[in-house]
Amino acid sequence: MRTTTAALILCAAAVAAPVSALAEVRSEMIEYLSDEVPLTGYLYWDDSIEGPRPGVLVFHEWWGLNDYAKARARMLAELGYVAFAADMYGNGQVTDDPGQARDWMQEVTSESELWLERIGLALSQLQDSELVDPAKIAAIGYCFGGGTVLQLAYAGGENVLGVVSFHGSLPAAPEESFGAIGPKILVLHGQADSFIPPEVVTNFQNKLEEAGANWEMDIYGGARHAFTNPDVGAYGIENLQYDAQADARSWARMQAFFDELFSH
């Protein structure tokens, strides 16, 4: 684990400590299969809370299920949710190499049935937990994971109330999803993300309108891709840059979104 990711966890714990001094976040490794591909996800929860509570899926960046995605799942548990950090690649595949990450991501995204199957498998792991209220489930994702939660919404998002995309790819809603997008959608996007041209953003927004989706998009001026990840400078890619203000504001916006989703 890199030092900055460790600091992210410690900072979140320090913030939560005054209001939940007795809380203890626990985790469990969960192994499951996609055909014959072994997947390994991680469930996080606050052991001081009794009874079922809302559950949140966490989908990783294109690097694989690394410490950053697990840290975000732990932070969700500290907020009182049960969080499941899903594995979309299998076989323990995690990398720092952009070319390898791209190949693994494309193996999943090029086959929509496989992509949706692994989303559904992750959802089942969360739903099956006795700690989770199955009527109160949401999903968040980062980069590749941001596009993944949008695919979940476009597929109807059965039993999922809402999804949050952090600096995700912005695949446009397909025509077959029009009128059938169930979850509310929150998109948190960096204005200076050169991976997502302005015309892609415009088309994305227009298709959500045509689809009749319940959606919102917050755009952070000057923020680049992966603006929530304090480790991202280590990858040596110019368009990847941490932005502390956009990170804090987007996390707060997610919390307000969940408060609304789970209030009933």
Question: How far is the C-alpha of 200 from the C-alpha of 169, rounded, in Å?
Answer: 10
Q: How many domains does the chain have?
A: 1
**Secondary structure of residue 160 in the 3-state scheme:** coil
What confidence score (pLDDT) does residue 13 get?
A: 43
User: How does DSSP assign 219-261, residue by residue?
Assistant: EETT--BTTT-TTGGGG--TTB---HHHHHHHHHHHHHHHHHH
What confidence score (pLDDT) does residue 11 get?
A: 45
Domain harbouring 42, CATH code: 3.40.50.1820
Domain that holds residue 104: 3-261
What confidence score (pLDDT) does residue 22 get?
A: 56
**Secondary structure of residue 178 in the 3-state scheme:** coil
Would you report the helix, strand and coil content of the chain in percent, each value rounded to 5?
40, 25, 35
* Tokens, residue 93: 């595949």
What confidence score (pLDDT) does residue 3 get?
A: 37
Which residues lie across from 186 on neighbouring strands?
164, 216
What confidence score (pLDDT) does residue 90 get?
A: 97
Q: What angle do CA 8, 11, 14 make, to 5 degrees?
A: 150
Question: How far is the C-alpha of 152 from the C-alpha of 145, rounded, in Å?
Answer: 10
What confidence score (pLDDT) does residue 12 get?
A: 46
Tens digits of pLDDT across the chain (264 residues):
333 444 454 444 444 444 444 569 999 999 999 999 999 999 999 999 999 999 999 999 999 999 999 999 999 999 999 999 999 999 999 999 999 999 999 999 999 999 999 999 999 999 999 999 999 999 999 999 999 999 999 999 889 999 999 999 999 999 999 999 999 999 999 999 999 999 999 999 999 999 999 999 999 999 999 999 999 999 999 999 999 999 999 999 999 999 999 997
